[in-house]
């Protein structure tokens, strides 16, 4: 199962921690892993490359984990809100394969 932890501060999403494999299909044919991976990559590219906001990103291929945390949530509020909605929609459509948790940040 893929676990998506949406990191919240106050009412805003300020990052995420995505880990695991969905197990929906074989590697290379797994549409759920592909959808989540593509969304994670898009968000990271928009925030770091297009908006030049330098989010903190951790990639651990051996653990199938990617984490992203922004310093300026206001500047990318719409991007992270869209990511949140997309992950929630995927979890509603494929509840056995993706779990979305919302966790509060202490920072």
The answer to whether residues 47 and 55 touch, using CB atoms and an 8 Å cutoff, is yes
* Burial (CB count within 10 angstroms: exposed 0-12, middle 13-18, buried 19+), residue 14: buried
Question: What pLDDT is stored for residue 60 in this prediction?
Answer: 95
CATH number at residue 57: 3.30.70.1490
Range of the domain at 33: 2-104
pLDDT confidence tier of residue 10, bands split at 50, 70 and 90: confident
pTM for the structure as a whole: 0.92
């Amino acid at each position: 199962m893929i676990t998506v932890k949406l990191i919240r501060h106050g009412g805003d999403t300020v990052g995420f921690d995505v880990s695991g494999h969905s197990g929906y299909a074989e590697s290379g044919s797994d549409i759920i892993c592909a959808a989540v991976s593509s969304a994670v990559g898009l968000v990271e590219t928009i925030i770091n490359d297009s908006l030049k906001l330098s989010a903190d990103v951790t990639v651990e291929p051996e653990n199938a984990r990617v984490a992203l945390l922004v310093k300026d949530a206001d500047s990318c509020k719409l991007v992270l809100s869209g990511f949140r909605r997309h992950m929630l929609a995927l979890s509603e459509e494929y509840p056995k394969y993706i779990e979305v948790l919302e966790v509060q940040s202490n920072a």
